[in-house]
Amino acid sequence: MFKRVVSFFQYSITKVALTRGLIQGILAGALLLTAVNGHAELVDRILAIVNEDIILLSDVDQAMAPLREKLKQAGYSDAQQRLYLTDQQRPMLQKMIDEKLTEQQAKRLNLSVSEEDVDKAIERFRAINKMSNDDLVRMLKMEGLTKETFRSQIKEQLLQTKIVNREVKSKIVITNVEIQQYYDAHQQQYTGVTKYHLRHILMKPATQAAEERERVRQEMQRLHERLEAGESFASLAKVYSQAATAEGGGDLGAFESRMLAAPIRDALAGLKAGQFTSVIDTEQGYQIFFVEELLQTGGKSLEEATPEIQEKLFAEEVEQKFKTWLQELRERAHIEIVE
C-alpha cells in the first residue's frame, strides 16, 4: 500500500548538503500521507532539489493555478485540462528551478524588489508607451495575462536587472549611437502610429499533439469560410471564441501596431476597416482578427522616441546577460529532479 511513496527513496539524499534535522524535516513534511480506510494516500512529494531548497508537487500545482483557471473559463473539459496541464508541468518545473536559483542568489546578495518598485516600473511602462490604465488592461487581456501574472513578470525582470548590475563588472550602458541606429532602422515604426480597433476569435488546442492542433485549425478555417460568406464576426465570436472577450463579441479595443506580436502585426498589414485576417497560429492558440476601425496618429522624433528605445535596448541586454549568468549558475548548482 506504500508503493506510491517508494519513488521518493530511489535517489541518494546524501548528495545534498543538508543537516540531519533538515533531512528529517523533509521526510516528515514533504511526503504528506493521509490515512484513508487503512491505506496511505500520497498528497505531496518532492519534484526537485535545488541546492539547499526543494520544490514540491504542490508548489508546481499552485504555480499552474492561473493556467488551470484560464482553461476552465475557456470551456475545456476536465480531461482536456488534465492533458494540457500534464504537458506543461515539466516546462513549469524548469522555470521554477531557474526562479529558485535566482531567489537564492538574490538572497546571498541581499537584493530584493518591493511592491513600490513594481508600481513604479508599471507606471514607467505606461508612460513610455503612452498607455492609459484601460489600454494596459486590454493589452493584458489580449496576451492572456492577469494583473497578478503581469506584476510577477515585472518583479522578476526587475530582480534580473539588479542581479545583472551586481554580478556583471561593467554596468549596461546604452549609447546615443545605439539609439540612433535603432531609430534609423525602424523609421516606419516612428514616422506614424497606426492604431487598430480589433475583435478576435480564439480557439485553443487541448494539447500540443499534431492531431489536436490540426483539428482546431480546421475548425477555425470553417469559421473563416463563414466570415467570407458574410456572417457577423461579433456573432461568431460570441458563440465560438474561447477568449474572455467572447461575451463582448471578441472586442479587444484599440492597439498601436507596435504593441502587437509580430505574426498579428504582419497579418493585419494592409487591411482596412471591416476586413479580417486569415487563421493565425499564436502563442494563445489559433486566432482570427477583425479590423473594427483604423486610427492614425502622429509619429515620434528621435528625442521623443529615445526613452522607449533606451528601455527596449536595455531590456534586451539585461535578458541576454541574465541568460548567460543563469546558465553559469546552473552549472555550479546542485539540481536533482526526482522522477
Run means of pLDDT, 10 residues per run, the chain, 339 residues: 32 34 41 50 82 92 82 81 90 92 90 93 85 85 79 88 75 89 87 84 90 94 95 95 92 86 89 94 92 82 90 87 88 91
333 falls within a domain:
no
Question: Is residue 175 located within the same domain as residue 323?
Answer: yes
Domain limit, last residue, from 65, 86, 107: 107
Contacts 24+ apart (CB under 8 A), 181-187: 182/309, 182/312, 182/313, 183/302, 183/305, 183/309
Amino acid at 296: Q
Q: Say if residue 174 is in the same domain as residue 200.
A: no
Regarding whether 91 and 130 lie in a shared domain, the answer is no
Co-location of 37 and 176 in the same domain: no
d(CA 62, CA 338): 18
Residues 153 and 231 in one domain: no
Domain count, the chain: 3
Residues 13 and 91 in one domain: yes
Is residue 196 within 8 A of residue 251, CB to CB? The reply is: no
Shared-domain flag, residues 204 and 290 = yes
* Stated pTM of the model: 0.51
Structural domain of 259? 188-298
Paired sense of beta strands 46-50 and 53-56, if any: antiparallel
Q: Which of 54, 72, 107 marks a domain boundary?
A: 107
Same domain? 18 vs 101: yes
Dist CA 96 CA 99 (whole Å): 5
Q: Please tell me the distance from the alpha carbon of residue 187 to that of residue 99, in angstroms, as a whole number.
A: 37
Q: Are residues 101 and 12 in the same domain?
A: yes
Query: Does a structural domain hold residue 332?
Result: no
Q: Is residue 314 part of a domain?
A: yes
Contact 165, 171 (CB under 8 A): yes
CA 137 to CA 147: how far, in whole Å? Answer: 8
The answer to whether residues 221 and 167 belong to one domain is no
211 and 268 co-located in one domain: yes
